[in-house]
Amino acid sequence: MNNTENKIYLSPETVKLYEEISKKKEIRIEELLEVTKLNRGKLEYYLSFLVSEKLVERNDIINKKLKLTKTGLDAAKNGLIERRIIKILKEKSSVSFPELSKLIQSDKKEMNAGIGLLKKQNILEIENGQISLIDENIDFNLDLQSVLEDLKTKQIDDAGINTDVIVKRNLGVLEDKKETILKTIVDYSKTKDRIEKTIEASRLTPEMIRDGSWKTIRLKEYNLKVSPPNYFVGRKQPYAQFLDDVKRKLVALGFQEMRGPIVELEFWNFDALFQAQDHPAREWSDVYRVSNPQKGSLPQEEYVELVQKVHENGYDTGSKGWRYKWDSKKSARMVLRAQGTSVSARTLVDLPVPSKYFSISRCYRPDTVDATHLSEFNQVEGIVADSSITFRDLLGILDTFAKDIAGAKEFAFKPDYYPFTEPSVELSTVDPNLGRIEFGGAGIFRPEVTRPFGIEVPVIAWGLGIDRLFMVKHEITDIRELFSYKLDWLREEKMV
Amino acid sequence: MVTIKASYNNMKELIGEDITVSELDELLSFAKSEINNYVEEEDMLEIDVKTSNRPDLWCPEGMVREIKGILEKEKGIPSLSIKPSGYKVKVDPKLTSSRPYIACAVAKNLHLSDYVIKQFMQLSEKIDHSYGRRRKKASIGLYNLSMIKSPIDYKVIEKTHCFIPLGNDKEMSLEEIIEHHEKGLEYGYIVREYGHYPILLSSDGVTLSLPPIINSNTVGRITEETKECLIEVTGTNFETVNVELNILCQTLADRGAEIFSVEIIYPQEIHKENVITPALTKQEIIVDLEIINKYLGTEITTSTAIKILEKRRFEGKSLDTSKINVIIPPYRLDILHWVDIAEELVIGLGYNKIGATKWQVLTTGGLSQETEDENKVRNILVGAGAVEILTNTLTDLAILTDKVNLDDDSFVKIENPVSVSYSVIRNQIYPNLISVLSRNTHESYPQTIFEVGEVVKIDKETPCTQTNLAYLYADAEASFEDAHKLLHRLMSLLKVEYSIETKEHSSFISGRCGIILVEGNKCGVIGEIHPNVLEKNLIWVPVVGLELELYLLPSLSCKRKFTF
């Protein structure tokens, strides 16, 4: 057996206590207090180590203790009332009630009870108001008298067969008495060699660890119920974390991330997406225009030329086009990205097939900022391109988004409108509490969008509204909180 | 999106069926519309029409037209018989350069209730605003026919010409209308660009209107008593004015009116021949069902396709086993390509009925290398105990300049801001983070915050989007070392060799700040924030921090994205 494992570490005071208990094998705690001269608190503290080391067993017993009442104490001192009556009658042979009352110096009720008892026992008789003993040599209740005297003077807790009578006659009452008895489990002599005396410390120091003194030191116990001080950890912003989660899910579904610039040419934001140059969405009320610089340079001429043709006459797509004079100057205007689809439009250049892309991009609209509107927000957008893909496949992709990203059990499709897709569809999910929520929109890019970039296969474009999802989860009603400045929220908002 | 108001009971009446609000909502989805709100006490529906290129749907009559097709109460293109009215409009060749096109019709046997008038006005306003591009491309006018004598003149007139505009009691000259009338202030710019004033005059010299601004108070007023009216659309696009007139005529016909045509006499400069309007010529498009079925993933037969087309208010003739000649109703201009017909067919089949299919082609997903690298930086900062912040990229000029002691204004500015709080795009992040600290002085210190986010810089007059890191540490005991040790560990974890060169920077304390150099490039700044900045932002503890342009760290692949 490993020797160190067997060692018992106890403070010197605890060892002393152990020795005392061990001497007696079994001892009441009161007795131990007297012997050791310790106060109760300290004794209990040292004792707890002995108990936890299983050296001493502690038994708490509840006993009944007979305690004399005032009448009982009186009877022990001056004699029981019946014995005092007998004593007087032995001296006077016959007395009247008033005489007896005077001699006995007791209250009338008690005296009458004594007379009643003696009469019942056929010890005295009453004739013409005169009381006398029947047998002048009588002695009565000598046992009871001596028990009472013992109770008063000696440390005894019960009166054996007399207990009932004493209680009944209100000479004494039975009280609960808690008693702690300590029993030695393992004798001190047997563990003596294994005991290491320790001292107490409030904190563990590097020195204690290094020099091994920790082995003889007992660290004071703490109150673990006390609240700790405030503590904050480094963490990701809750909404950014949520966007990371969405990205992870999309990556798991096989989507590759794309990124694009914040300041965008109208060309990529609108023209490449077949939005006519007089389309209302291009008005100053719907898109932020940049004042420095106002214009940029357009991409490769071949794309610009074909986009122009598609707008003016549909190019070779079979479309009628928008039938107006396209203006390259309007197309070169700088705006803040108004829709994430512009990132998809840029990806159409040299698009690999098959391919699946997504982007989470900051977009901007000239809205007055309030609880339901932001002037900048994030759009989740993407494309899927393959020669085999169909509109029903697009519904299948939305089906996956509804289940895997929104976690929706119920959802539905509705016809929708986007200038750059045909057919277009809206995806709405059904929330058990909030009802129908618009969750996404999608469609197949019009040939007028894909053809100028030399793409011959169908390209699905899709977008998801995930802000609402985040707000529902985090019980946010004010959309401005997505970009919260509140440090308490940023520090303390739940992660799950 | 266009939002219109309509009576629920009247819509039920038009449909001819007692349907609940939710049943109606379901049917409206076929007209790309949905009920946004229903006020029962006022019997008023608020309907959002999602399509911006179907002005024919921006009235209950138009939506009901679609619903009746879906319910198969009516099929194919609605019939509209037209007789000549005898009215003529002469167009002035001077209008060639300004607003040359006009389309007119006469409607008789009108039964105009207050509700119908309001509906018609709502439709005209919505079309003017959106489809007519705020009246610039096209605008609608309605007149009491009994006060008009043919031929009508659509011509250019001098600015001193006077008439009483709608809602006024006194005559105003055209010039005064443009300068002072409420509608003149709103739409006057359109006429100002023309350099002359277009006018519509009855042959007896009575003014109908100053298009596209305001009608006459007498001739141009429609009431419940009006039994016959003249409808007119002027504009810059021939197709647009004609399709708008077709929509208006169809809508009035749906309410029981009889429609009569008007002859438009064009000068050669504008249009080669005279036109009878409404010109209800039906456009046609030939589609190949085989191609459409491949596109949709469906197996629609020609006979089914023709049936669906009729439900969608088109008509179709089978040309061979696969090709169909589709005839388009004259109130629609949105069919550009066979994909538009493909959508009509799949809407007719029902999006929720055709069944979703699983496209099974395998692709590899992944984050962009850039995002991966940004995440590395974010993780280091989180590990350092910093709390991530997400702030607006569109921000306040003062936050980027005065609040951080800077007067450099080389950032992207917005031409049309809604509010000064959102009027410039940030070119660095730490000013936003100072603003965050400024709003959290009641929270416990130390406050350790960071943001990894996009900013826009202007490089040789071209804006470029790039990702920066900003880090701030605010505490009573904060000192340069707190920022320095973080930078040092960050750079070492990212395997970047760097140096700091002491340099003055007005946001920071002199001698306690410097620029961060990597391979000779200045890629950031580090230091103790100047007490003057702290005072301006009501921050009462020392703050230290740094800003780093991640694209300049050679071991990361954070690229700048130029706008071209």
Tokens of B448: 């350790």
Distances (CA, A) of A388 to A328, A347, A352, A400, B351: 35, 20, 14, 18, 20
Rounded CA separation A381/A421 (Å): 13
Rounded CA separation B267/B264 (Å): 10
Taking CB atoms and an 8 Å cutoff, what residues of chain A touch B388? 235-237, 240, 490
Distances (CA, A) of B173 to B46, B167, B210: 39, 15, 10
Rounded CA separation A296/A282 (Å): 17
pLDDT reading at A494 higher than 60: yes
- Which residue's entry shows tokens 């904190």? A203
DSSP states of B333-357 as a string? ----SHHHHHHHHHHHH-TTTS---
Rounded CA separation B490/A233 (Å): 18
pLDDT reading at A4 higher than 80: no
- A284 shares a domain with A157: no
Please, which residues have CB within 8 angstroms of residue A194's CB and are 6 or more apart in sequence?
A6, A7, A8
Neighbours of A170 (CB within 10 A): 11
- Which residue's entry shows tokens 């959002």? B48
- A413 shares a domain with A443: yes
Q: What is the mean pLDDT of residues A84-101?
A: 83
Residue A364: closest C-alpha in chain B: B394
Q: Quick check: B425 and A263 CB within 8 A?
A: yes
Q: Quick check: A289 and B414 CB within 8 A?
A: yes
Of A236, A263, A388, which has the smallest distance from its Cβ to B563's Cβ?
A263
The answer to whether the beta carbons of residues B242 and B277 sit under 8 Å apart is yes
The domain locations on chain B are 2-70, 82-277, 284-349, 369-562
Of A298, A388, A448, which has the smallest distance from its Cβ to B361's Cβ?
A388
Q: Quick check: A412 and B352 CB within 8 A?
A: yes
Please report, rounded to a whole number, the percentage of residues in chain A having pLDDT higher than 90: 46
- Which residue's entry shows tokens 């009116």? B257
Rounded CA separation A102/A95 (Å): 11
Tokens of B513: 């700040």
Closest C-alpha among B270, B144, B118 to residue B209: B144
Q: What is the mean pLDDT of residues A117-142?
A: 83
Q: What is the mean pLDDT of residues A12-22?
A: 89
The answer to whether the beta carbons of residues A306 and A300 sit under 8 Å apart is no
pLDDT reading at B263 higher than 60: yes
- A284 shares a domain with A362: yes
Mean pLDDT score of chain B = 95
Q: Quick check: A416 and B50 CB within 8 A?
A: yes
In B396-466, which residue ranges form alpha helices assigned H by DSSP? 397-400, 430-438
pLDDT the model gives residue A5: 52
- The CATH classification number of B82-277 equals 3.50.40.10
pLDDT reading at A462 higher than 80: yes
Please tell me the pTM assigned to this model: 0.81
DSSP states of A207-235 as a string? HHHHHSGGGGEEEPPP-TTSPPPP----B
Rounded CA separation B73/B17 (Å): 10
Q: What is the mean pLDDT of residues A240-250?
A: 96
Who has greater pLDDT, A86 or A274?
A274
- Residue A231 inside a domain? The answer is no
Distances (CA, A) of B258 to A436, B204, B220, B232: 43, 26, 20, 16
Of A234, A362, A397, which has the smallest distance from its Cβ to B386's Cβ?
A234
What type of residue is A336?
L
Of A256, A376, A392, which has the smallest distance from its Cβ to B356's Cβ?
A392
Taking CB atoms and an 8 Å cutoff, what residues of chain A touch B237? 324
- A131 shares a domain with A203: no
Tokens of B445: 């210190």
Mean pLDDT score of chain A = 89
Cis peptide before A419 (omega within 30 of 0): no
Q: What are phi and psi of A492, to 5 degrees?
A: -110, -10
pLDDT the model gives residue A98: 82
Taking each helix axis as running N to C, give the angle between helix B114-126 and helix B238-254, from 0 to 180 degrees, rounded to the nearest 10.
Answer: 160
Taking each helix axis as running N to C, give the angle between helix A29-36 and helix A40-52, from 0 to 180 degrees, rounded to the nearest 10.
Answer: 110
Residue A356 burial (C-beta neighbours within 10 Å; 0-12, 13-18, 19+): buried
Q: How far is B439 from chain A (nearest CA, A)?
A: 7
Q: Quick check: A257 and B368 CB within 8 A?
A: yes
- Which residue's entry shows tokens 């809604």? B418
CA angle, A344 then A346 then A347, to 5°: 60
pLDDT band at residue A1 using 50, 70 and 90 as cut-offs: very low
Please, which residues have CB within 8 angstroms of residue B334's CB and are 6 or more apart in sequence?
B51, B53, B54, B340
- A193 shares a domain with A169: no
Q: Quick check: A415 and B339 CB within 8 A?
A: no
Rounded CA separation B358/B350 (Å): 18
Give the CA radius of gyration of chain B.
Answer: 33
pLDDT the model gives residue A3: 46
- A314 shares a domain with A168: no
Q: Quick check: A262 and B425 CB within 8 A?
A: yes
Tokens of B210: 């100053």
Count how many domains chain A has: 3
- A323 shares a domain with A195: no
Please report, rounded to a whole number, the percentage of residues in chain B having pLDDT higher than 90: 94
* Mutation target vs B (from A375, A403, A405, A416; most B CBs, 10 A cutoff): A375
Please report, rounded to a whole number, the percentage of residues in chain A having pLDDT higher than 70: 99
pLDDT the model gives residue A223: 82
Taking CB atoms and an 8 Å cutoff, what residues of chain A touch B366? 251, 256-257
What type of residue is B235?
G
| pLDDT tens string B495-545 | 999 999 999 999 999 999 999 999 999 999 999 999 999 999 999 999 999
Please, which residues have CB within 8 angstroms of residue A115's CB and are 6 or more apart in sequence?
A85, A124, A126, A131
**In the beta sheet, which residues pair with residue A463?**
A381, A441
* Region for B324 from its dihedrals, namely left if φ exceeds 0, alpha if ψ lies in -120 to 50, beta otherwise: beta
Do the first three CATH levels of B2-70 and B284-349 match, i.e. the same topology? Answer: yes
Rounded CA separation A251/A248 (Å): 5
- Which residue's entry shows tokens 């045909």? A422
Rounded CA separation B132/B114 (Å): 25
Taking CB atoms and an 8 Å cutoff, what residues of chain A touch B389? 237, 485, 490
Rounded CA separation A450/A425 (Å): 19
- A335 shares a domain with A420: yes
The verdict on domain B369-562 having CATH code 3.30.200.20 is: no
- Which residue's entry shows tokens 């959508």? B343
The answer to whether the beta carbons of residues B377 and B453 sit under 8 Å apart is no
- A464 shares a domain with A361: yes
| pLDDT tens string A156-198 | 777 788 888 888 888 888 888 888 888 999 888 888 888 888 8
**In the beta sheet, which residues pair with residue A274?**
none
Specify the CATH number for the domain of residue A79: 1.10.10.10
Residue A393: closest C-alpha in chain B: B357
Number of cross-chain residue pairs from A and B with Cβ atoms under 8 Å apart: 282
pLDDT band at residue A26 using 50, 70 and 90 as cut-offs: confident
Please report, rounded to a whole number, the percentage of residues in chain B having pLDDT higher than 70: 100
User: Roughly how many angstroms between the first and final C-alpha of chain A, as a whole number?
Assistant: 49
Specify the CATH number for the domain of residue A268: 3.30.930.10
| pLDDT tens string B150-201 | 999 999 999 999 999 998 889 999 999 999 999 999 999 999 999 999 999 9
Give the CA radius of gyration of chain A.
Answer: 50
Residue B296: closest C-alpha in chain A: A391
Rounded CA separation A383/A389 (Å): 12
* Poorest-pLDDT segment among A144-148, B171-175, B444-448: A144-148
Q: What is the mean pLDDT of residues B19-48?
A: 94
pLDDT band at residue B136 using 50, 70 and 90 as cut-offs: very high
Q: How far is A489 from chain B (nearest CA, A)?
A: 11
Taking CB atoms and an 8 Å cutoff, what residues of chain B touch A235? 382, 387-388
Residue A102 sits in which domain range?
Answer: 68-175
- Residue A36 inside a domain? The answer is yes
Rounded CA separation B383/B376 (Å): 11
- The CATH classification number of B2-70 equals 3.30.56.10
Tokens of A76: 């022990």
Q: Quick check: B342 and A424 CB within 8 A?
A: no
Which helix (H) or strand (E) covers residue A266, if one does? helix A266-269
* Poorest-pLDDT segment among A210-219, B251-260, B320-329, B432-441: A210-219
- A120 shares a domain with A102: yes
The pairing of beta strand B138-144 with beta strand B172-173: unpaired
Q: What is the mean pLDDT of residues B227-233?
A: 95
Q: Provide the greatest CA pair distance for chain A.
A: 150
Rounded CA separation A329/B130 (Å): 23
Taking CB atoms and an 8 Å cutoff, what residues of chain A touch B32? 415-417
Rounded CA separation B231/B105 (Å): 5
Q: How far is B356 from chain A (nearest CA, A)?
A: 5
How far is Cα of residue B338 from the mean position of the Cα atoms in its chain? 25
Of B363, B367, B384, which has the smallest distance from its Cβ to A234's Cβ?
B384
Distances (CA, A) of B205 to A480, B150, B215, B218: 59, 11, 15, 13
* Poorest-pLDDT segment among A200-209, A228-237, A298-307, A381-390: A200-209
| pLDDT tens string B168-182 | 889 999 999 999 999
Residue A399: closest C-alpha in chain B: B356
Closest C-alpha among B175, B55, B53 to residue B127: B55
| pLDDT tens string B458-470 | 988 899 999 999 9
Q: Quick check: A485 and B436 CB within 8 A?
A: yes
Q: What is the mean pLDDT of residues B74-101?
A: 95
End residue of a domain, out of A120, A144, A175: A175
The answer to whether the beta carbons of residues A132 and A94 sit under 8 Å apart is yes
| pLDDT tens string A319-349 | 999 999 999 999 999 999 999 999 999 999 9
What CATH number does domain B284-349 carry, 3.60.10.10, 3.30.56.10, 3.30.420.40, 3.30.565.10? 3.30.56.10
The answer to whether the beta carbons of residues A496 and A421 sit under 8 Å apart is no
pLDDT the model gives residue B524: 96
DSSP states of A284-333 as a string? TTTSPBB-SSSB---S-HHHHHHHHHHHHH-TTTT-----S---HHHHTB
3 state DSSP class of B42? coil
Taking CB atoms and an 8 Å cutoff, what residues of chain B touch A384? 359
Which helix (H) or strand (E) covers residue A88, if one does? helix A81-92
Rounded CA separation A385/A408 (Å): 26
